[in-house]
Amino acid sequence: MAKTSFSWIPSVISILIGLSGLFSSSADAQMANDSVYSGSSFNEVMGVLENRNFSPKSPREVSDFDGYRNGQMPRYPISFSSLDLGALTRDSIRTLHSRADYFDRIEKLVHSSGICVAGNWAIDQDSPYSGYFSKGSRALFIGRISTALEDPTNAGERGFGFAGKIFPTLNGGARVKTTSFFTIDVLSGTPAQRFLDVGLTNNPPLHPRFDLLGVLAKIIPAFAKADSQPTFRPVTQIARTGLKGELKSPVFMRLRPTEKMIRNNQADYRRELIQALSDNHQQLQFQIEVSDTTNDRNASSGWQRLGTIMLDRAVVSYGCDRRLHFSHPKDDKTNGN
């Protein structure tokens, strides 16, 4: 039997991006930058993740909140019929323009279920870059690790995401303006068996998948409507945070788990990370690498290691999946501190 070719799929995806200009959003379509944002403390955001002083009110909140009781790890169905183009577009615009660290409630329509992690950001190598890419920079850190679409297990292909929130302080009670970034391995997913085996960048590839074509037909136009470069998230705002002197930022950033960590074979990546923390004495280390020449997540050259993200806790919660927000930068000029 002749092998079926899907070489036409990238062209279809390009057409879908072009068609995004035909769609419009009626709710806050051109939301202004969040001028009232005054920052948050690390302890405050951790309180959101741990559901401190939170009581669900609406029936929908109660139903979702109950899904996390007794260590449960819910799955939220995502399909062509469940995705609303208008909602996707509004959420994309909000994510690009609002700097809020959390809301009373938001629904993550693509990366719906995740696990939140916390620890420290540290740059310990000589660096030509500014801000929190410069040597000696240390900060408190909160992140959210997730998969695109519905299945959190390694039974199929998963597109891993690692969003990060840098608090430019080591004082957990200090209110500061946070800086966010977003990294992914492959937007359409890979058969990787563990999260701790992948590298993630701020400019991930999109490999064609015939089974996802209908879902992509909604997701890509919504993202492209909000941003002409929907797969690239600049990291300039990290170089701008705490800036002293001239701004100099890398183009690409890669996060990779260190090789020395003990891995496990949990099918659900959330359980994988919880067990990995236990197996590695409550320390998971990710290398912060940057480049001005390559965005290849698997390349052995072209990347410069600057430091590490050290994680010491993880939580699966309503606050993580339904309240925490990351501002995904579109233009560094709108994300300065």
3-state SS of 150-163 is CCCECCCCECEEEE
Residues of the chain with pLDDT under 50: 1-33, 80, 210-212, 214, 218, 222-223, 225-228, 331-337
Q: Distance between CA atoms of 327 and 182, rounded to whole angstroms? A: 9
Amino acid at the residue 309 = I
Q: What is the pLDDT of residue 330?
A: 59
The CATH number fitting domain 38-332, selected from 1.10.3470, 1.10.1060, 2.40.180, 1.20.1250: 2.40.180
Cα within 13 Å of Cα(85), Cβ side: 18
Q: What is the pLDDT of residue 29?
A: 31
pTM over 0.85: no
Q: What is the pLDDT of residue 157?
A: 85
Q: How many residues does the chain have?
A: 337
Q: What is the pLDDT of residue 329?
A: 61
- Report helix, strand or coil for 306: strand
Are 20 and 222 spatial neighbours (Cβ–Cβ below 8 Å)? yes
Q: What is the pLDDT of residue 328?
A: 73
Q: What is the pLDDT of residue 15?
A: 31
Q: What is the pLDDT of residues 285-298, one digit of tens each?
A: 999 999 999 999 99
Q: What is the pLDDT of residue 89?
A: 56
- What is the domain partition of the chain in residue ranges? 38-332
